[in-house]
Amino acid sequence: MGTAVDPEKGSLLRAAPRLLQVLRVLARRNFLRAMLGSRHWPPPKDVREAFEELGLVFLKFGQVLAMRRDLLPGAYIDELELLHDDLPAMGIDAVRATVEDELGTSLTELFSSFRETPLAAATIAQVHEATMHDGRHVAVKVQRPGLSAIIDTDIGALTYLVSLSERLFPRLRAFDLPVVVGEFATTLRRETDFSREARSMVLFRRALADIPDLWIPDVVTECSSRMVLTMEFSAGERVDHYAKLHPEAIPRPMNTLIKLMLQSIFEEGLFHADPHPGNVFVLPDGRLSLLDFGNTGELDEPMRESLILLLEAVVKGDAKAATEAYLEMAPAGGEDVNQATLLVDMKAVLFEMRRGELADLSIGDAFDSVVRAGSRNGVHNPGEFVLLTRAFVILESMIRQLAPDHDYMTSFREEISRLTAQHFSVARIKEKTTELARELERLINDAPGDTRRILGRIAEGNLGRVRAPALEALASRVSRNLELLAGAVALAALVVSGSMLLFSPMGGWHHLLGVTMIFGGISGMLLIRIGVWLRDRGRR
């Protein structure tokens, strides 16, 4: 009879040889001496070189740590930002074997031509230019073989190292390093699933189809799989190269980039998490081409609403509103959060921001400061918010590098105003009102029966199986009151919707409709109140 093995111990056993290699590298770079009690950590350059020497997973983890200014001192962050993931290209034999194993047929049957020299080579994959038999010009992204096994082994070793570090340094527990490693592992496995990347490309193409100055390549589904991704070829050039050749034309693609980022975030809950120059191209006709959707984020509607409130509070300098909006985004389990100190830190963050000109305000830096303030006070920062913060930092850094005279905040405010006007449109209000009406209808239909059943169970509960007519009469009255309450809530929603229209920046017929809705809602509530008064008078 076999002996059961603890999965965690089994994982550690599988990762043990790799763990020994990692420990040897860390010992050579003086990490172990610091972990065993020395107060002097290795110089930042040694830390970066250690991550590069340890390979794919640790190199990527170093890039993730470079985003977390709330975890490491600035000197280490600056050094880790220099990490690069360029690797020697795979040979054509390895590329051919991967493509043919994944797609089930020979390279020559799939493509009429296939360029052996890759266009780009990185840690996860490399890209080749090719032509389909029907004449389509495509780019083929081919994953390096054996990555899944490497990732599983290195994540096991990294998890053990983090656990060991927390035991040696209990103060590290405040940084939630196991959570950071878990989120990193999830992100890395997403990046190595090209099927997911293909789905993201399709979603972005649909969500941003109404932006005329944007082109996202389509996926060639029949030549794509988990390790191979074939897409339309982008004939443009990198945006940084384009900026050097056409400095007068660069504001157009920059405005398009801002527009697509904000529209995808606030309307669709999607965002490209890595908008650096290597993923942003400009086509010959001036349109923007966005590439590489392996690293994307998703925001649900509650988080989007909290994000909008946080943005408004940051621009207004309202520390209390910013703190509340930020805490609404944080995952559950914030019982250790020091809210009083967090509010003080938030006031300091917003004060520093308000000292400068509004045109110089950086959304990425603002979010980054909020993340750091939260970490200092026990907030578990949501991974998607950290990813979004990094995306804004990269975006703003690129804009200021390529178009230093471009007024980023003006474009930002214009796009926010457009999205606000769309948010207050009649169609949007009708959609929200319909959703509210459905919920109220469900409440009205279900509440009376639920109330009767609950009170009936009380009557027949622990006090014995005794009939309680008074309780049944109470249930009937409660049901009628619930129906009145539901009606009042619906009318109150009408008043709120009217107020939103009345105070919207659009004016005109929107204000007239808002006044009508407010008048109708208040009139309905008065009628309900008169009805209740007449009913009570009749009962007396």
Burial class (CB in 10 A: 0-12, 13-18, 19+), 475: buried
Please identify which of the residues 70, 154, 176, 274 carries the catalytic annotation: 274
- Strand ranges in 353-507 using DSSP code E only, listed in sequence order: none
In 232-270, which positions are buried (b, 16+ CB within 10 angstroms) versus exposed (e)? Answer: bbbebebbbebbeeeeeebbebbbbbbbbbbbbbbebbb
Encoding tokens for residue 369?
A: 């400061």
Encoding tokens for residue 50?
A: 């250690």
Closest by CA position to 188, among listed 229, 147, 128, 145: 147
Give, for 281, the enclosing helix (H) or strand (E): strand 280-282
Residues near 471 by Cβ (< 8 Å), separated by ≥ 6?
455, 456, 458, 459
**CA 259, CA 517: separation in Å to the nearest integer?**
33
Which strand ranges, in their side-by-side order, compose the sheet holding 280-282?
A: 214-215, 288-290, 280-282, 237-238
**CA 116, CA 212: separation in Å to the nearest integer?**
34
Closest by CA position to 119, among listed 238, 275, 283: 238
Residues near 457 by Cβ (< 8 Å), separated by ≥ 6?
none
The 10 Å Cβ neighbour count of residue 131 is 15
Closest by CA position to 449, among listed 489, 488, 478: 478
Counted residue by residue, the chain has a size of 540
Residues near 490 by Cβ (< 8 Å), separated by ≥ 6?
436, 437, 440
Residue 140 backbone phi and psi in degrees, to 5: -115, 115
Q: Are the CB atoms for 295 and 191 separated by under 8 Å?
A: yes
DSSP 86: B
Encoding tokens for residue 303?
A: 């988080």
Degrees, nearest 5: CA angle 470-475-478: 125
**CA 540, CA 532: separation in Å to the nearest integer?**
12
Residue 345 falls in the annotated catalytic set: no
**CA 538, CA 532: separation in Å to the nearest integer?**
10
Residue 142 backbone phi and psi in degrees, to 5: -120, 125
Residue 488 backbone phi and psi in degrees, to 5: -65, -40
Closest by CA position to 495, among listed 457, 532, 522, 469: 522
**CA 214, CA 290: separation in Å to the nearest integer?**
8
Q: Are the CB atoms for 81 and 66 separated by under 8 Å?
A: yes
**CA 231, CA 199: separation in Å to the nearest integer?**
12
Q: Kindly list the catalytic residues.
A: 274
